[in-house]
Structure 1
Amino acid sequence: MVKSFQGVRVVESKKAAAPILVQDHMSTNLVTFYPEDTIDHVLELLTKRKISGAAVVDQSGHLVGIISEVDCLKEIIKGKYSNTPKFPGTVAEHMTKDVITLKPDLSLFDAAQLFLDKKIRRFPVMKDEKLVGQLSLSDVIRAFPKLKDTTW
């Protein structure tokens, strides 16, 4: 018979990991455009801020669409055919109007799955019908290396 002198062992309960949410990784300092803005203005600001797209809001601040570099290409090609170096087309002419949005309390894993399913590079984040942020594919990619494997 072997006797143990270690005494009674207390097993620590595992702590539930805090959920990893969209609101913790979204951008909140947003560039937004208005439907009447020109593509020239959009290209200038996207280039200056080193971003690939942004939300489009009306004068009341309600989300009405999203504009991306790919959307701007339509106007660039049109300018090539008409031999005009300016891109006077408006955001309203080229923006995506059917916008899929996320809620800030959505799991980042669920958001990552939506990026795969929808093949979209950014989602506006809405709370109580207000634009509160934007989650880009880059935001998601940057978030995961920072997470410890114990939080998964």
Structure 2
Amino acid sequence: MQIKNIMTAPAISIEPTETITTALRLMLSHKISGLPVVTPNGQLVGVLTEGDLMRRSELQTEKKPSWIQSLLRSSGKHASEYVHTHGRRVSEIMSNEPVTISPEASLHEAVDMMTRHHVRRLPVVRNERLVGVVSRADMLRALLPVISDEPRTVADETIKESILREYRTQDRWAGGNFISVDVKNGIVELNGVVTDERLRVAARVVAENVPGVVSVIDNMTFVEPFSSTEIPPPLFP
């Protein structure tokens, strides 16, 4: 799936000459954590986020440098920080180098970028023009229809083969035939021996994710590999 299939467009944005009062009202009324900053012709020049507005003189939340930091910083650096905590225009406090993404990029690329740069939303840009925004909320909306737990009727043999196929795919932890699978009327029964409780949980999750599964019965036994102590399956998964 590509970003253009899930992004919010047109994006709610703001011009750099606007006041932060206008920006705050936009963010609060639309319940968003940031605004792309664009010129009148649609060129992206920055991003204003909640983080940019947290250190404010009005809230007395300015960052207090240590005496040695104050000594080592140039007068220009001190002036820049003052503007950031006291400035009233979007252009004065916005981030000037926003992390952007192409509308043709994949969701995998977007998640990697959000994680790496610690951001919640990415401006979507084509030819330096803002065409939309993709946020974590957009990701959740894309996830919902594909993870839906609405019941589906699937043949028992098809369910079993799907579970076993996924076990074979996950050979880093599910190698071999360590678990046997039986399916009747959509109810999956797992039997076998595991030497790590985490394998039990993963094996059950595989079954729960297969379309058509009504419920999963965990009959797997955990055997402590050093003492050979057997621990029966839990009463409640």
Deviations 1:30-62 (A, max 9, x none): 211111111111111111111111100123221
8 A Cα contact 1:29 1:133, kept in partner:
yes
- Residue 41 of structure 1 aligns with an amino acid whose one-letter code is T
2:20 aligned with 1:21: no
2:128 aligned partner, one-letter code? E
Alpha-carbon distance between aligned partners in 2 of 1:135 and 1:108, rounded to the nearest angstrom: 10
Map 1:106-145 to 2 at 5 A: 106-145=105-144
Q: Unpaired segments of 5 or more residues in structure 1?
A: 1-19, 82-86
CA distance in 2, matches of 1:80, 1:24: 40
1:89 maps to amino acid: R
> By how many angstroms is 1:105 displaced?
0.9
Paired residues of 2:101 and 2:122 also in contact (CA < 8 A): yes
In the alignment, which residue of structure 1 is the partner of 2:48?
Answer: 67
Q: Whose radius of gyration is greater, 1 or 2? A: 2
Q: State the distance in 2 between where 1:101 and 1:54 align.
A: 13
Q: Which runs of 5+ in 2 are unaligned?
A: 61-85, 148-208, 211-237
Cα distance in structure 2, aligned partners of 1:140 and 1:95 = 25
Amino acid at match of 1:38: T
- The question of whether the paired residues in 1 share the 8 Å contact of 2:3 and 2:103 is answered with yes
Instruction: Say whether the 8 Å CA contact 2:87–2:93 is kept in structure 1.
Output: no
Report the secondary structure of 1:30's partner residue. coil
Residue in 1 aligned with 2:35? 54
Residue 145 of structure 1 deviates from its aligned partner by 2.7
RMSD (Å), alpha carbons: 2.0
Question: Aligned runs of 1:20-99 on 2, under 5 Å?
Answer: 20-74=1-55, 77-81=56-60, 89-99=88-98
Query: How far apart in 2 are the matches of 1:29 and 1:116?
Result: 24
Q: TM-score, normalised by structure 1?
A: 0.73
Give the number of the structure with larger relative contact order, counting CA–CA contacts within 8 Å between residues 6 or more apart: 1
**Is the contact made by 2:13 and 2:38 (CA closer than 8 Å) also made in structure 1?**
yes
Q: What is the rounded CA distance, in whole Å, between the counterparts of 1:80 and 1:134 in structure 2? A: 29
Q: Which secondary structure does the structure 1 equivalent of 2:41 belong to?
A: coil
TM superposition shift of 1:119: 1.0
Residue 88 of structure 1 and its aligned partner are, at CA, apart by: 6.5
Q: Where do residues 5-16 of structure 1 align in structure 2 (5 Å cutoff)?
A: none
Scaled by the length of structure 2, what TM-score is found? 0.48
